Homo-oligomer: A and B are copies of this chain.
Amino acid sequence: METIEFTPTVEQYGWTFGGTAPIRRVRPGTVLKLWTDDAFSGKLRGTADRASRLLDARYTNPQTGPFYVEGAEPGDTLALHFVSIEAARDWGVSTTMPLFGGLTGTTRTATLQEPLPELTWLYEIDSGKRTVTFAAVESEHRLVLPLDPMLGTVGVAPERGEVRSTAVPDTYGGNMDTPEMRAGATCYLGVNVAGALFSIGDGHARQGEGESCGTAVETAMNVTMIVELIKGGAPAWPRIEDDEYLMVVGSGRPLDDAWRVAQVELIGWLGGLLGMGKMDTYQLVTQISRSPIANMVDPNFSAVVKVAKEFLPDVPAYDGMHRHLRGLAAGL
Contacts and interface: CB of A to CB of B under 8 A. Distances in A.
A273 to B, nearest CB: 11
A283 B102 CA distance: 11
Interface residues of A, number: 93
Nearest to A104: B111
Given A103-B282, A255-B259, A284-B143, A289 B111 contact: no
A257 B264 contact: no
Contact of A103 (B110, B161, B254): B110
Nearest to A252: B108
Given A111-B103, A111-B104, A136-B280, A259 B19 contact: no
Nearest to A214: B286
A317 interface: no
Interface stretch (A28-36, A65-73, A81-89, A113-121): A113-121
A215 B213 CA distance: 31
13 contacts: A15-B160, A19-B161, A58-B160, A103-B267, A104-B111, A111-B113, A119-B283, A134-B284, A136-B283, A211-B286, A216-B287, A256-B256, A292-B293
For the complex of A and B, the 10 pairs showing the least CB-CB separation, nearest first, are A254-B254, A163-B163, A291-B293, A253-B253, A209-B291, A136-B280, A110-B264, A208-B289, A113-B113, A213-B286
Given A96-B283, A161-B165, A214-B286, 19 more contacts: A102-B259, A103-B260, A105-B111, A108-B257, A112-B264, A112-B267, A119-B279, A119-B283, A137-B280, A141-B276, A143-B312, A143-B313, A162-B162, A206-B288, A212-B289, A215-B286, A252-B253, A254-B254, A260-B296
